Chain A
């Protein structure tokens, strides 16, 4: 199965089919990433669905989903490949025990050690290894957490989709992976890397879109409740909180309320479940001070109960 979308609308439709509702901006970026074959760089608040983009692409394209979580100190051994040293040592010991080590030339022994069976493939090598099927989707998550040196390395790997393992040779993707990078902006990612990519700033969804997302992801939640929760979250986002709730929280909240047997918002339940959406004590206080009663009233109105 291969996917060469002919229009942005086709991308939107295909993503929706796989449970992801993208707005036109994101759909355009994805369309361009597919047609221009460039990595897609996504930035935005936590919880707006950046990581989900890679997952849905994998479901749609049908290629394997490969995730590389970045962290400080990540290097080629964790990102590309590593030799299985403990097994290599065992191999050497066996050779020694059977007396073969003394006879065999060092070169021969070495050749045995650097065999594919001792190679541990890390995400980047995995993503660039030849496949018959559709291209893999490589998610490079939170690239801002890695060191700048690692960025330079990524830049190189992403520009020609080849990787050299000195002991084996050059590995080149005949089917280049679809690459999605995400960043939370804890520091600036180098311009050169960004310029290799298509850039999209992911926003919180609009009210109607959020309602649709909740209904799509939590189909057992009734429409009135979904609308009311979305309305409430939308107003909560306007309070200048430390951590405004993302879409994931909206879904969690709707599901929690549904699990508690509610089909409509009520103040007591909202207060009891506030912890599913607001993870800072100060944020909870701020929202409670605004008057939950009135907020729930407004949400009921907006949600059209």
Chain B
């Protein structure tokens, strides 16, 4: 027979705290971890206290594992957890705790004259709405063609607003999910057929069908944030943000000296709030490039593992590789094998006389389905159109 313990899930498990201060210690630990940047809901802290009640606090390792299984939910947080554990439980050993190696967070230049933010600092253009509209419109005309590297902060802000109006769809693929149809579909829908039959003395003369539904393909954006891309990355990260919030199934990463996943941080609808959330995450802003290595990491941890399979992957980079170009070529080939479409957006492509001579670009190009410029709003608009409508190019 089942034991009492299994019989009523609604009752909390009997918790006996061996030492009174366990709760306080647990809460303290949780707040240290929060301070290090791990998100810990109160619920998890309560679980941790319960867990401590069961494993006891006599052994350091028991506390360590109890905390790990209750407080942590992502492997990325494990190094921080270890740091926090050392800080809090191992007598605050400064050797293990130093936050060295992390450069001070760089803040993206935020635009000062966006209407959303200029509650008190009235700029020249927000005074008279009527006139400004026309003025702005003509300015926009010119602006959409302008190279991002020549835009002022104000102009970039303007473009950000335009970007948020872009529609990001990717071509659909058949999903396994079945939906009901009006007419004849792929498969008989017995469930609805029975329902109809019941209304007519059990005579199933009306047949219902289902068919496979369609689903937009996942869109994965990989943004190069190395030094050589700096002038463009400011605009492109806004493009990335616009794509992330406008639809589901989008993933965003930055590539530089390391790989950073910014999907979650770009989640806010407000572009500035999203930038504020994402920028501290990207620790290698305007640093060096090791595209090949970082792409390798992406392939291992996310891409080839499943995220890029059947997806549309867009790489926004100038292809400047300071590392080994062969590695980049290999990784592009590997990525290309699993994606539905691999698009390389290179802002430099628009400059007159451009040829893909950079070693990295040359190595990557054979594995790219489409190679498009991304230097101005107009070119990004075209990119959005390619994503939405383009059929798969032939290789």
A, B bound: yes
Binding site for B on A (CB under 8 A): 2, 4, 8, 24-25, 28-29, 31-32, 35-38, 41, 43, 71-75, 83, 85-86, 88-89, 92-93, 95-96, 101-102, 106, 109-110, 113, 131-135, 144-145, 147-148, 160-161, 173-176, 184-188, 191, 194-195, 198-201, 240, 242, 282
User: 5 A-B Cβ contacts within 8 A?
Assistant: A35-B54, A85-B191, A96-B201, A101-B201, A144-B306
In the complex, whether B5 has a CB less than 8 A from a CB of chain A is yes
Q: Which residues of A contact B193 (CB under 8 A)?
A: 85, 89
Q: Are B2 and A32 in contact (CB under 8 A)?
A: no
Q: Which residues of B contact A8 (CB under 8 A)?
A: 55, 62, 65
Other than the given A186-B302, A198-B47, 9 more pairs (CB < 8 A) read A8-B65, A24-B61, A86-B190, A109-B202, A135-B6, A176-B9, A187-B251, A194-B73, A240-B296
Q: Which residues of A contact B68 (CB under 8 A)?
A: 25, 199-200
Q: Are A28 and B198 in contact (CB under 8 A)?
A: no
Which of A74, A75, A88, A240 is in CB contact (< 8 Å) with B194? A88
In the complex, whether B112 has a CB less than 8 A from a CB of chain A is no
Q: Are B201 and A35 in contact (CB under 8 A)?
A: no
In the complex, whether B175 has a CB less than 8 A from a CB of chain A is yes
Q: Are A133 and B2 in contact (CB under 8 A)?
A: yes
Q: Are A92 and B72 in contact (CB under 8 A)?
A: no
In the complex, whether B307 has a CB less than 8 A from a CB of chain A is yes
Q: Are A89 and B305 in contact (CB under 8 A)?
A: no
Closest 6 CB pairs of A and B: A186-B306, A85-B190, A73-B176, A92-B202, A28-B65, A73-B177
Q: Which residues of A contact B191 (CB under 8 A)?
A: 83, 85
Which of B2, B197, B302 is in CB contact (< 8 Å) with A92? B197
CA distance A185 to B296 in the complex (A): 17
In the complex, whether B3 has a CB less than 8 A from a CB of chain A is yes
Q: Which residues of A contact B62 (CB under 8 A)?
A: 8, 28
Q: Are B306 and A72 in contact (CB under 8 A)?
A: no
Q: Are A191 and B194 in contact (CB under 8 A)?
A: no
Binding site for A on B (CB under 8 A): 1-3, 5-10, 13, 41, 43-44, 47, 50-51, 54-55, 61-62, 65-66, 68-70, 72-73, 75, 78, 175-178, 190-191, 193-194, 197-199, 201-204, 248, 251, 263-264, 296, 299-302, 304-307, 309, 330, 334
Which of A43, A106, A242 is in CB contact (< 8 Å) with B198? A106
Q: Are A242 and B304 in contact (CB under 8 A)?
A: yes
Which of B66, B177, B305 is in CB contact (< 8 Å) with A185? B305
Q: Are A36 and B50 in contact (CB under 8 A)?
A: yes
Q: Are B75 and A32 in contact (CB under 8 A)?
A: no
Which of B7, B194, B203, B334 is in CB contact (< 8 Å) with A96? B203
Chain A nearest CB from B5 CB (Å) reads 5
CA distance A163 to B79 in the complex (A): 39
Known contacts A174-B2, A199-B72; is-contact A25 B13 (Cβ 8 Å): no
Q: Which residues of B contact A135 (CB under 8 A)?
A: 2, 6
CA distance A69 to B8 in the complex (A): 27
Q: Are A198 and B69 in contact (CB under 8 A)?
A: yes
Q: Which A-chain residue is minimally distant from B2 (CB atoms)?
A: A175
Chain B nearest CB from A104 CB (Å) reads 9
Q: Which B-chain residue is minimally distant from A27 (CB atoms)?
A: B65
Q: Are B55 and A175 in contact (CB under 8 A)?
A: no
Q: Which residues of B contact A133 (CB under 8 A)?
A: 2
CA distance A41 to B69 in the complex (A): 9
Chain A nearest CB from B209 CB (Å) reads 13
Chain B nearest CB from A113 CB (Å) reads 7
Q: Are A32 and B304 in contact (CB under 8 A)?
A: no
Q: Are A161 and B9 in contact (CB under 8 A)?
A: yes
Q: Are B202 and A195 in contact (CB under 8 A)?
A: no
Q: Are B61 and A195 in contact (CB under 8 A)?
A: no
Which of A32, A37, A72, A195 is in CB contact (< 8 Å) with B73? A195
Which of A36, A134, A187 is in CB contact (< 8 Å) with B47? A36
Q: Which A-chain residue is minimally distant from B3 (CB atoms)?
A: A2
Q: Which residues of A contact B263 (CB under 8 A)?
A: 188
Q: Which residues of A contact B300 (CB under 8 A)?
A: 242
Q: Which residues of A contact B305 (CB under 8 A)?
A: 184-186
Q: Are A92 and B43 in contact (CB under 8 A)?
A: no
Q: Which residues of A contact B334 (CB under 8 A)?
A: 242, 282
Q: Are A32 and B69 in contact (CB under 8 A)?
A: yes
Q: Are A36 and B78 in contact (CB under 8 A)?
A: no
Q: Are B69 and A175 in contact (CB under 8 A)?
A: no
Chain A nearest CB from B216 CB (Å) reads 13
Q: Which residues of B contact A88 (CB under 8 A)?
A: 190, 194
Q: Which residues of B contact A102 (CB under 8 A)?
A: 201
CA distance A29 to B54 in the complex (A): 11
Q: Which B-chain residue is minimally distant from A132 (CB atoms)?
A: B1
Chain A nearest CB from B329 CB (Å) reads 12
CA distance A8 to B54 in the complex (A): 9
Q: Which A-chain residue is minimally distant from B174 (CB atoms)?
A: A73
Q: Are A29 and B2 in contact (CB under 8 A)?
A: no
Chain B nearest CB from A11 CB (Å) reads 11
Q: Which A-chain residue is minimally distant from B203 (CB atoms)?
A: A96
Known contacts A32-B55, A35-B54, A199-B72; is-contact A110 B198 (Cβ 8 Å): yes
Q: Which residues of B contact A198 (CB under 8 A)?
A: 47, 69-70
Known contacts A4-B5, A195-B41; is-contact A72 B176 (Cβ 8 Å): yes
CA distance A185 to B73 in the complex (A): 12
Q: Which residues of B contact A92 (CB under 8 A)?
A: 194, 197-198, 202-204
Which of B6, B177, B198 is in CB contact (< 8 Å) with A75? B177
CA distance A32 to B66 in the complex (A): 8
Chain A nearest CB from B256 CB (Å) reads 20
